[in-house]
Amino acid sequence: MSIWTRISAALASLAKGEPLSVVFDHLVGAPDPERSVGFTIAVIALGAKLAKADGQVTKDEVTAFRRVFTFPPGEEANAARVFNLARQDVAGFDAYARKIVTMFTDADHPDNRDLFIDLIEGLFHIALADDILHESEEAFLAHTAEIFGLDQRCYLAIRARLVEGAVRDPFDLLGVPHDASLDQIRAAWKQAVKDNHPDVMIARGVPPEAAVLAERRLIAINAAWEELRHRVAA
């Protein structure tokens, strides 16, 4: 069963007139297999709030979703349906973000920091659909990251990985202080590579269709390690 078929099942209550924001409440405490459904709905719902134009999904927005998800033939309509429903919902993006924190934080999953990073990266891909990070989009992303409990260093590292021309501090990219030793940097690099393995991402709720999120992250992580191991060892 594809992720989009499962999403359609999760959204069956919408046919009864329930707003999309209520669907998040239904997914709180859902078993792990359904967390990928929650992840996908979260990215699309928040992505819809990022979009500037009203109406149907634009070509650029579909392209952005394809950077994060692989749509099986015939499933584009389901993705567009969720996107457009999120646009019509009265809940603001901060309300969605807080529901997502509740959805992905429970006794069995007390620390889903990596999943929240995955979500912010997915949103960056959508914001950059037109190759420009607008001021309003930046404010949206920064505030959402704050709600997710991600500090400024983490946010700047995500931004540096994805925004062309952004200043890329290799220490920030690996999440280590500027006075870190080579051993500390190496340990952070190894952990970052491990955390971004597709199997690990899927285990924390990212659907296989979104594993592409790790590709650019790993490139940036490895580049940061190469730069710092030469710089610090010199």
pLDDT digits (tens, 9 = 90+) for 71-82: 667 777 776 676
Angle 152-83-96 from CA coordinates, rounded to 5°: 45
User: Among residues of the chain, what percentage have pLDDT more than 70?
Assistant: 65
pLDDT of 215: 78
Beta bridge partners of 109: 106
pLDDT digits (tens, 9 = 90+) for 158-186: 888 888 777 788 998 888 889 999 999 99
The rounded Cα 72 to chain-centroid distance in angstroms is 20
Long-range contacts, stretch 27-34, CB < 8 angstroms, 24+ apart? 27/103, 28/99, 28/102, 28/103, 28/106, 29/106, 30/103, 32/205, 34/6, 34/10
Q: 40 vs 3, which has greater pLDDT?
A: 40
Spatial separation of the C-alpha atoms in residues 59 and 41, rounded to whole Å: 19
Reported pTM: 0.75
pLDDT > 80? residue 98: yes
**Domains of the chain by residue range:** 3-233
pLDDT digits (tens, 9 = 90+) for 181-212: 999 999 999 999 998 888 888 777 777 767 77
Spatial separation of the C-alpha atoms in residues 51 and 126, rounded to whole Å: 8
